[in-house]
């Protein structure tokens, strides 16, 4: 598929599900996005080997469709009757990825989450389209909602001149559209402390299970997934685990986010059993995180803990500790640069010390300088970087590991401005009123950690955690604003 118009339409429908003023309008947009996005996906992967059995055996395809519709319908009925079941199911599904061939490459897709989001969208849309339900109180879309909707539409529009349209299509269909629906649904859930604890419990249980898988990988020196990491481990003196995430850094990101939630329980706990239970969970997850050797995840966790400390005790002391840590770290690098494999007079050494990030950032800045107004188009970073830097395909795949640089190179100033505005609005939304509020503090800390992680690795709007944190944070902020003073 080469035409960007269906892709732009899908993005507009997803944006409408977020910002349209009326419940029925949002429901129609939700249903439209829910139908069009899978249609675009099917058209994109129809000729791949993974779909060949379905092409050769139409009866199997029909049976699969019937089973899928039945599953969606059953979950939709459950979510309609018990809305709180949706965020719990989303939390249970959010880490699991399934490899799908598309556009000549393999993407690790959140298929279980897509099923949950699809069912949740049906549970929301159909009753409102039929007039059986309406919102108790309509409201105008917030700044964060408009910026998220604008980011989705802008990304789709800029796919029209992309050097890699297939990649842009994948990102919109696989990530932007379903995650926009996830955000819209979570933002309209009535969140309570009990529901937040239940969601954290599900995430913590999953994190412990993933950590156990990581321990087995480390003990046996055998990875279950990700051939790239398997190959890397064979040539290094260290061993990195990735559990079931295909990527040790994404696995580390998940563990860090969950650890911040558990740490929130620890520092706000009043009962000794809660303190000891949270401490035990943190000890296991910390051991799991150490085995990833993900420096970006360690940094993200530390930043999140500083946010929690500021919310629980003193923002000034937390800020002071953070500044002191940066000063000490900088001084250590200056005094002993070789300890981090850094030669201050060599750019090659800087690239080695940053695991290849220095050259990627430098190349990305050069791409932005070449086309600052429009960029190379959505999803085009890897292809444009490989062409400009004459790098290998393998190296270009990792060239999107610094999200602001990627956004600037692909989308130029328009995309960069939307990204910056979204960060400002997101932090303003999530950090307002976190003092003394453990749930909101945990959301703010997790978002800060995630943003920092994306600055040294990949996936911002391509990560469902970004949308989920903003959606829950918006719901909590709206509830707080409606409460009497």
Domain that holds residue 16: 1-188
Report if residue 372 sits inside a domain: no
Section 107-127 average pLDDT: 91
Report if residue 152 sits inside a domain: yes
- Please list the alpha-helical segments (H only) found in 291-437: 295-312, 315-335, 347-353, 357-370, 381-389, 393-397, 403-431
Report residue 230's pLDDT band, with 50, 70 and 90 as the boundaries.
Answer: low
Question: Over the stretch 155-185, which tens digit does the pLDDT of each residue have?
Answer: 999 999 998 888 899 899 999 999 999 999 9
Dihedrals φ, ψ of 163, to 5°?
-75, -15
Q: How much is the pLDDT for 104?
A: 55
Q: In the predicted model, is pLDDT for residue 412 greater than 80?
A: yes
Section 426-436 average pLDDT: 92
Question: Over the stretch 252-276, which tens digit does the pLDDT of each residue have?
Answer: 999 999 999 999 999 999 899 999 9
Report if residue 161 sits inside a domain: yes
Q: In the predicted model, is pLDDT for residue 456 greater than 70?
A: yes
Question: Over the stretch 24-78, which tens digit does the pLDDT of each residue have?
Answer: 999 999 999 999 988 887 777 666 666 666 667 677 677 778 888 888 999 999 9
Report if residue 47 sits inside a domain: yes
Nearest CA to 468 out of 243, 183, 226, 175 is that of 183
Report if residue 344 sits inside a domain: no
CA distances to 129, 161, 419 from 414, rounded to whole Å, are 35, 14, 9
Domains identified in the chain, total number? 1
Section 373-388 average pLDDT: 88
Report if residue 263 sits inside a domain: no
Q: In the predicted model, is pLDDT for residue 349 greater than 50?
A: no
Report if residue 227 sits inside a domain: no
Q: What's the rounded Cα separation, in Å, for the pair 471 and 465? A: 10
Q: How much is the pLDDT for 189?
A: 92
Section 425-453 average pLDDT: 94
Question: Over the stretch 184-214, which tens digit does the pLDDT of each residue have?
Answer: 999 999 999 999 999 999 999 999 999 999 9
Q: What's the rounded Cα separation, in Å, for the pair 200 and 394? A: 37
- Secondary structure letter of residue 140 according to DSSP: P
């Amino acid at each position: 598929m080469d035409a960007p118009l269906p892709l732009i339409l899908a993005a507009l429908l997803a944006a409408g599900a977020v910002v349209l003023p009326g419940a029925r309008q949002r429901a129609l947009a939700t249903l439209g996005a829910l139908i069009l996005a899978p249609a675009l996906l099917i058209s994109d992967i129809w000729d791949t080997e993974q779909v060949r059995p379905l092409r050769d055996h139409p009866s199997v395809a029909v049976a699969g469709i019937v089973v899928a519709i039945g599953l969606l319908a059953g979950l939709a009925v459950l979510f309609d009757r018990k809305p709180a079941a949706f965020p719990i199911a989303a939390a249970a599904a959010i880490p699991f990825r399934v490899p799908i061939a598309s556009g000549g490459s393999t993407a690790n897709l959140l298929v279980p989450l897509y099923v949950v989001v699809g069912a949740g969208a049906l549970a929301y849309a159909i009753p409102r389209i039929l007039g059986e339900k309406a919102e108790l109180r309509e409201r105008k879309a917030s700044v964060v909602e408009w910026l998220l909707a604008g980011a989705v539409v802008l990304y789709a529009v800029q796919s029209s001149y992309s050097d890699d349209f297939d990649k842009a299509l994948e990102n919109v269909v696989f990530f932007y559209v379903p995650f926009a629906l996830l955000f819209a649904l979570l933002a309209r859930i009535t969140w309570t402390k009990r529901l937040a604890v239940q969601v954290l419990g599900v995430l913590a249980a999953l994190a412990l299970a993933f950590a156990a898988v990581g321990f087995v990988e480390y003990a046996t020196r055998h990875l279950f997934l990700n051939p790239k990491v398997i190959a890397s481990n064979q040539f290094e003196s260290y061993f990195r685990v990735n559990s079931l995430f295909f990527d040790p850094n994404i696995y580390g990101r998940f563990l860090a986010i969950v650890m911040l939630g558990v740490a929130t329980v620890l520092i706000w706990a009043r009962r000794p059993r809660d303190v000891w239970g949270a401490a035990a969970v943190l000890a296991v997850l910390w051991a799991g995180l150490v085995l990833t050797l993900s420096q970006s995840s360690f940094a993200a966790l530390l930043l999140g803990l500083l946010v929690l400390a500021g919310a629980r005790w003193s923002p000034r002391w937390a800020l002071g500790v953070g500044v002191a840590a940066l000063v000490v770290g900088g001084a250590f690098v200056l005094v002993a640069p070789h300890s981090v494999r850094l030669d201050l007079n060599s750019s090659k050494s800087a690239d080695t010390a940053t695991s290849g990030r220095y050259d990627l950032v430098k190349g990305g800045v050069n791409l932005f300088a070449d086309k600052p107004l429009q960029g190379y188009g959505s999803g085009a970073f890897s292809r444009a970087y490989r062409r400009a830097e004459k790098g290998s395909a393998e190296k270009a795949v990792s060239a999107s590991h610094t999200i602001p640089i990627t956004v600037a190179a692909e989308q130029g100033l328009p995309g960069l401005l939307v990204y910056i505005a979204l960060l400002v609005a997101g932090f303003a939304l999530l950090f307002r009123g976190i003092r003394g509020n453990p749930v909101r503090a945990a959301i703010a800390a997790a978002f800060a950690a995630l943003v920092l992680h994306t600055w040294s690795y990949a996936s911002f709007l391509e990560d469902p955690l970004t949308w989920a944190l903003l959606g829950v944070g918006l719901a909590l902020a709206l509830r707080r604003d409606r409460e009497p003073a």
